[in-house]
Each structure stands twice: as C-alpha cells, then as structure tokens.
Amino acid sequence: MNNKSTTSDKNEAKVSRVYTKLKFVKSDQTGAIISFVSQNPKTGRICGVRQDSEYPKKICILDKMLASEILLNVLYDCTLIPMTERNGYVVIAAEPVQFKATVTKTYVKNNIYLVEVKFGNKTIRFDPFNGRKESIKSLPACKAILERRVDVKNILQVVEDFDTAANEILALLENDRWGRFNRRKK
C-alpha cells in the first residue's frame, strides 16, 4: 500500500504543467470544445495557435469539469497537462483574461463625434455622426455590445464612463446641429 502512494507521487512529479493563453472553438467532427498549441522550436515555449496555423500543433481538450463554463472565442489564461501519450494536452484550469479598458472621446466641431473603448487589441466605437452600421451609430446598440464583454476589467465602471462620454458627445452634436440651423435662419 505504501509502495502505491510513492509511485503516484513520482507520476505527479513527472507531469509538468504548462501555462498559456487559449481561445476555444467547437470541433466540426466531434462537437467538443477544443483549442490548439504549438511549441516554439527555439525557446521551447508553448503558445496557443489557431486551428489553421501553419506551425506544427497539438490539440487541447477540456477537462469535463470545465466544459460547461467555457465560452467560445474568449481568451483564457489556461493551465495544461500533457496527455499520457504526449499527443496533446488536457486543460485543467481556465480563467478569462480581463483587460484594462480606456474610454476616449474625440470631438471636432461638425466633423468628428466619436467615443472609443479600447481594451486588449479590441476597440468598440460609438460614432453617431459618421457611423454606418447600427452597432456603431446607436448608443443602445453600442452599449449592449460593451455590456456583454467578459474580457474587460471593472466592466460596470467602464460602461458608466462610456455612457457619460457618449451622452456628452450626443449633446455636442445636438448643439452643433441646432447652432448650424439657427445660423441659416438669420
């Protein structure tokens, strides 16, 4: 009995954990939630890659306990362990990455009325003057997109700051439109 516990301790010591960032997708063949990693040949570092990556890659499957908690196409900080045959990895822990967001507004009278929320490599724009899509020129649509994000730190404060900046831009736009209209009447 004592011999078995030392054997399992040795096996646990052999299992090396890998820490990387991954986005998960649904497999076309099995319907399982998967991701892929590739090892840098020079540094030996393992990084997440897309399924269509040209680099040699290994599959990452989720531990059954995590499968219900993972959202597709969201970046996660993950802990991986190698599969027993070393042909892939099992994801044993995953936490969504949360980025610090900045809210900026840009105003040039009668030309630019813009609010941007930047986080990670994403930008959400609100442009009621030059916006072409409804998700850019409509405040409720833009705000709804921002509220659904799980990768923004302190999302409630960011949404509040965005709402304040967007309402200021809308007030400037309305003021400039009426000012232009009143000048034409005179």
Considering only residues 149 and 186, tell me which one the structure prediction assigns the higher pLDDT: 149
- In which band, very low, low, confident or very high, does the pLDDT at 1 lie, cut at 50, 70 and 90? very low
User: Would the pLDDT of 183 be above 70?
Assistant: no
- Residue 145 near residue 124, CB atoms below 8 Å: yes
Residues 6+ apart with CB under 8 A from 87: 58, 59
- For the record, the structure tokens of 43 come out as 């540094």
Q: What is the pLDDT of residues 85-138, one digit of tens each?
A: 878 999 999 999 999 999 999 999 989 999 999 998 999 999 999 888 988 889
Which pLDDT belongs to residue 87? Answer: 87
Distance spanning both ends of the chain, measured CA to CA: 98
Give 127's DSSP letter: -
More confident residue, 118 or 13: 118
Longest dimension (CA), the chain: 98
Q: Is the pLDDT of residue 13 over 50?
A: no
- The pTM (predicted TM-score) of the whole model is 0.72
Report pLDDT for 15.
62
Token look-up 């000012």 returns 179
pLDDT over 90 at 155, yes or no: yes
Looking at residue 186, what is its pLDDT? 46
For residue 2, pLDDT beyond 70: no
Q: What is the pLDDT of residue 51?
A: 87
Model pLDDT for residues 27-82, shown as the tens digit of each residue: 888 888 999 999 988 998 999 999 898 989 999 999 888 888 899 988 999 999 99
- Number of neighbours of residue 116 by Cβ within 10 angstroms: 16
User: Does the pLDDT of residue 185 top 60, yes or no?
Assistant: no
Name the residue with higher pLDDT: 100 or 186. 100
Lowest mean pLDDT among 6-15, 47-56, 71-80, 175-184: 6-15
Instruction: Classify each residue of 12-24 as buried b or exposed e, where b means 16 or more C-beta atoms within 10 Å of its C-beta.
Output: eeeeeebebebbb
